[in-house]
A and B are shown apart, each in its own frame.
Chain A
């Protein structure tokens, strides 16, 4: 009898990547493998809730926090256009990502040496030399928007530009490369120290030589000038975790109205003022609204009768019952909406949310709305039009059937185990 394969999943410290990997790990567990999670410093507790062992990397900076400064800095940046965010948010974020990669290298190497995984799943935006040097296959999961993998016919990553704005692509790409250049230079020097060849600028992570998996469902996928090698690049058509059923609360009014979920992720929830402004609009609509208030849920008082503010929702189970999902364009949220045939109203504030907002509108699976610059009637109108768009709903429902049949999380798990088994066969024959 062969021992269960240990698969170490190493998602970046964001809920999207983490919960996407939970879906894959659930399938790996069903297939008899032993999935374990490697957690960035401070990012633990998510996976144990789903029954997976967690191994936290050292290198955290302690608990001294300046919440006020952090929130003010980010909230200002989140109000800007993708172009202006290059300096205020994207550049500093890449600096922080490179810092993390360097900080966790030694503990990650030690952890992998003791875990002895049969394969590593990396759902991140940056390479970790310890992963490349672990001596086992590593599989890359791209849980961001498809734009993360560049192509001459795909708009530049994080630009929020559409196909119709091709004339602006090069300028944005040049500015992106310039902004990330210092971090990239530092990162290349670090990789060289670890004996790895650097990825070409402005990329921080090459595709895996074994297997790469992208979420991008067919309905929003780009036509590439340079098609991806189907043996090495697999589209999962979404990858949704299994959650317990969700019973919506009984609202104080409009209990027969359509259910609308609003969630901007844990970072997006910190702008309480903006969400309160939205709730004022919700109060006059004949719908039920579930609002993810995250860690700031206590700051909502006198909530209207048709609104319920919670600090956490089992999102897939809620989306499945919703008629509309208002979100920030996080790729996991966007894919969940598509998986359950629910239109998206995307109000992005950073990173690939801009790309998904544009893509939602471009492909007719939802609409985008500036997160801050809207009048109450504009927001209400966008919600009404999406709820009443029967043609869009029918198309999304048909697509949902296809996506569910594709079983993205299962395919991911099968792909991972195939790679691991293939890599082991020659070793076993030689041994």
Chain B
């Protein structure tokens, strides 16, 4: 907690945890949040809980009531994710700019904090924090001396195809590991969001909420697999996947993808792990773009090769 009493990243993370707990418990708009209960459930004192509730209030997700407490102003299952505090914006911008410029070939893979400070006109702390986040996402690592090495391969145009290849080999396997443990609470929370997404049509589909449930679902599979090496590899991969810019996907495909997630979740719940693994294979294959690379009037079909 910061001395100034200003909400920091930990408060935002706790606020997100409160939202997740509320979703798991099926709480709805208008329901009261009890500070002490939250503190007990999150295993923290009431002070950070109060700060976290203030974060939610600032974002309009809860409103204070006459008794000095807070009530939900929205359905918690519908919140795609919390925005970071303003102090993290500079770091966010540098993070996005590094990825953008690396993908466009404007900056080299080997960089120093000073060089990036000059390029982006930001302070040392913002650049350092951005590099640390890239490192946590598996997109950068410390090199010799003052150097940082950015991982261009992870954001190249071949990265998406290579990522699907990797996931096809590992995610179904994770589901059939002998020590796979179902996390009933996380499953419940995810189901709420997925069901909410399923009720949306093409025009109203909430892509941000989908992004969150997509990440959470695949992370759930990774963390539950029971094999720490497999879990680590998959968690790192999904983090990297979420951090790197991805290509455009049609809303219809995301809607289908959500239904596939739900079906897998149901099979996981029932312990039908082989079925869930088979569905995962189908899901990953359907998610790969099969669009032809080149097509035109009179172009022989042999040239209409699909992306790898």
Contact = CB atoms under 8 A, between A and B. Distances in A.
A100 B298 CA distance: 8
A133 interface: no
Contacts of A46: 291-292
A242 B307 CA distance: 23
Given A244-B250, A303-B104, A63 B305 contact: yes
A252 B101 contact: yes
Interface string A295-332: 10110111101011111111000000000000000000
Interface string B101-128: 1001110000000000000000000000
Interface in A124-158: 125
B222 to A, nearest CB: 27
A62 interface: yes
Given A297-B157, A302-B105, A92 B100 contact: no
Nearest to A241: B250
Contacts of B303: 42, 65, 67, 70
Name the prevailing secondary structure of the A interface residues: loop
B296 to A, nearest CB: 4
A93 interface: yes
Contacts of B305: 42, 63, 65
Q: Which residue, of A95, A125, A266, A297, has the highest number of chain B Cβ atoms within 10 A?
A: A266
A51 interface: yes
A230 interface: no
A278 interface: no
Interface in A344-367: 351
B215 interface: no
Nearest to A52: B252
B97 A250 contact: yes
A13 B106 contact: no
Contact of A313 (B105, B248, B292): B248
B94 to A, nearest CB: 11
Given A50-B252, A51-B256, A14 B302 contact: no
A14 B304 CA distance: 10
B66 interface: no
Range of interface residues on chain A? 35 or more
A305 B104 CA distance: 9
Contact of A65 (B295, B302, B306): B302
Given A42-B292, A45-B290, A252 B247 contact: no
Contacts of A308: 100, 104
Contacts of A100: 301
Given A42-B304, A49-B291, A244 B298 contact: no
A45 B297 contact: no
Given A270-B294, A312-B247, A61 B105 contact: no
13 contacts: A13-B297, A14-B297, A41-B301, A49-B291, A70-B300, A70-B303, A93-B298, A97-B298, A267-B296, A295-B294, A295-B307, A297-B157, A303-B104
A354 B13 CA distance: 57
Contacts of B247: 310-312
Given A41-B304, A49-B289, A351-B297, 10 more contacts: A14-B296, A42-B301, A43-B292, A43-B304, A59-B301, A246-B248, A298-B156, A308-B104, A312-B247, A312-B289
Contacts of A40: 301
A312 B100 CA distance: 16
B129 interface: no
B297 A298 contact: no
A254 to B, nearest CB: 14
Interface string B72-116: 000000000000000000000100110011001110000000000
A22 to B, nearest CB: 10
B8 interface: no
Interface of B: 93, 96-97, 100-101, 104-106, 156-158, 202, 207, 245, 247-253, 255-256, 286, 289-307
A94 B298 contact: yes
Contacts of A312: 247-248, 289, 291
A92 B298 contact: yes
Contacts of A51: 250, 252-253, 255-256
A13 B295 contact: yes
Interface string A168-179: 000000000000
B295 A15 contact: yes
Contacts of A42: 292, 295, 301-305
Contacts of B300: 61, 70, 96
Contacts of A351: 297
A256 to B, nearest CB: 16
Contact of B306 (A45, A67, A95, A303): A45
Contacts of A65: 302-303, 305
Given A250-B97, A302-B105, A302-B106, A266 B302 contact: no
A294 B293 CA distance: 7
Given A244-B251, A313-B248, A13 B299 contact: yes
A303 B104 CA distance: 6
A12 interface: yes
Given A94-B298, A250-B96, A266-B295, A49 B304 contact: no
A99 to B, nearest CB: 9
A311 B305 CA distance: 15
A14 B295 CA distance: 5
Nearest to A96: B298
A64 interface: yes
B73 to A, nearest CB: 25
Interface in A261-275: 265-267, 270
Contacts of B207: 244
B293 A266 contact: yes
A67 B301 CA distance: 12
A333 to B, nearest CB: 13
A64 B305 CA distance: 10
A313 B291 CA distance: 13
Given A244-B251, A308-B104, A313-B248, A125 B293 contact: no
Contact of B295 (A43, A63, A300, A311): A43
A301 B306 contact: no
A12 B289 contact: no
Contacts of A14: 295-297
Nearest to A93: B298
A252 B293 contact: no
